[in-house]
């Protein structure tokens, strides 16, 4: 009997000192919208991080890119008392009050795709955003012969990173490619295949001089590519932008989409969980911090941004080989 007691006590001590219970943080990633390939793949990174880091990490999101849905989800998570909330925001200004409320309750708040004015503890960026926007515009200009009309698609007019890219790309185009021009102001359609398809059809009818689309949002090239396919206009139109390789592969092969620029969303999901755990463990965010999937970080202390630069170029030759 005594031997059995000591065995149980020793086993209890092993679990107590291993940190399994103490380290089982609840970390929730709140994305812009559920059910689309980009965020489905991000969720794989969140799930892998949960397994590797022994935390309770999972992903939630709304049924549309309505910031109010994100507010409601975050309010519920604050009431639940989770340890960390990581967010891909639809509108950082709308989310500011709930971010403040969460942080006041000791909840770690991180963002992704919100490098300025995020009001979180830290933002994590997996690419250099200025370089990314210019690279996208360079590819569009190359396809268009550096002249003619084009349109830019964003997820919404309040998504911070999409509009930051569009601002940089537009200023760069005016400086470097003066014979190019926007046929219309940017359109908030790139998080929907149906909306980007309809927008492309309407724009091609209204603006015969339009020969290019730059999409900052992963479904814009798909909807645009589908419209170009139906119109048999691949030789007239250049489409570049964010896109999921596997989803876009048929369009690359046929020539309706020319080039994609992205990062691996699973790596971003993993990084959000990894940094959240690091902060919860009391570790400092500083230059030289190295993450498992992204390598060494460059830290912007003033804007509280953790920067990496992992731009991935996708085309007809590698779209099927990247695995997502």
Strand, coil or helix: 64: coil
DSSP element (H, E) containing 43: helix 37-53
Two tokens, residue 297 = 């970080």
- Burial of 92 by CB count in 10 Å (0-12 exposed, 13-18 middle, 19+ buried)? buried
1 pLDDT more than 70: no
Q: Which residue has the tokens 């080989």?
A: 321
On the question of pLDDT at 295 being above 60, the answer is yes
Per-residue pLDDT reduced to its tens digit, 44-85 = 999 999 999 999 999 999 999 999 999 999 999 999 999 999
Is 15 a residue whose pLDDT tops 80? no
The Cα–Cα gap between 324 and 321 comes to: 8
CB-CB neighbours of 64 under 10 Å: 15
* 136: its two tokens: 């996208």
**pTM of the prediction?**
0.81
- Flag the least confident range among 5-14, 161-170, 247-256, 263-272: 5-14
Per-residue pLDDT reduced to its tens digit, 224-268 = 999 999 999 999 999 999 999 999 999 999 999 999 999 999 999
Quote the tokens at residue 85: 């909330």
DSSP strand E in the chain: where? 26-31, 56-61, 84-87, 108-112, 122-125, 148-154, 180-182, 187-188, 210-216, 238-241, 259-262, 290-291, 295-296, 298-300, 305-307, 312-314
CB 248 within 8 A of CB 257: yes
């Amino acid at each position: 009997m005594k031997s059995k007691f000591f065995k149980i006590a020793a086993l209890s001590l092993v679990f107590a000192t291993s940190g399994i219970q103490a380290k089982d943080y609840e970390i929730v990633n709140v994305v812009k919208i559920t059910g689309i390939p980009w965020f489905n793949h991000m969720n794989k990174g969140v799930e892998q991080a949960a397994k590797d880091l022994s935390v309770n990490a999972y992903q939630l999101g709304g049924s549309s890119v309505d910031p109010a849905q994100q507010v409601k989800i975050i309010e519920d998570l604050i009431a639940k008392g989770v340890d960390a909330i990581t967010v891909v925001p639809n509108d950082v200004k709308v989310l500011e009050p709930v971010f403040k409320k969460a942080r006041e309750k000791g909840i770690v708040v991180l963002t992704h795709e919100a490098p300025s004015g995020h009001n979180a503890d830290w933002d994590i960026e997996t690419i250099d955003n200025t370089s990314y926007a210019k690279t996208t515009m360079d590819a569009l200009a190359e396809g268009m012969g550096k002249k003619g009309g084009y349109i830019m698609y964003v997820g919404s007019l309040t998504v911070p990173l999409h509009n930051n890219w569009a601002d940089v790309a537009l200023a760069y185009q005016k400086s470097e490619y003066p014979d190019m021009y926007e046929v219309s102001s940017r359109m908030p359609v790139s998080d929907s295949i149906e909306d980007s398809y309809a927008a492309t059809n309407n724009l091609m009818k209204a603006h015969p001089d339009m020969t290019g689309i730059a999409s900052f949002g992963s479904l814009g090239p798909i909807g645009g590519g589908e419209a170009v396919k139906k119109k048999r206009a691949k030789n007239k139109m250049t489409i570049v932008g964010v896109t999921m390789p596997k989803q876009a592969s048929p369009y690359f092969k046929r020539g309706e989409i020319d080039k994609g620029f992205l990062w691996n969303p699973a790596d971003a999901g993993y990084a959000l969980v990894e940094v959240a755990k690091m902060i919860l463990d009391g570790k400092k965010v500083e230059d030289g911090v190295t993450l498992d999937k992204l390598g060494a970080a460059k830290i912007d202390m003033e804007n509280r941004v953790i920067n990496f630069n992992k731009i991935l170029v996708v085309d007809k030759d590698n779209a099927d080989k990247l695995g997502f």
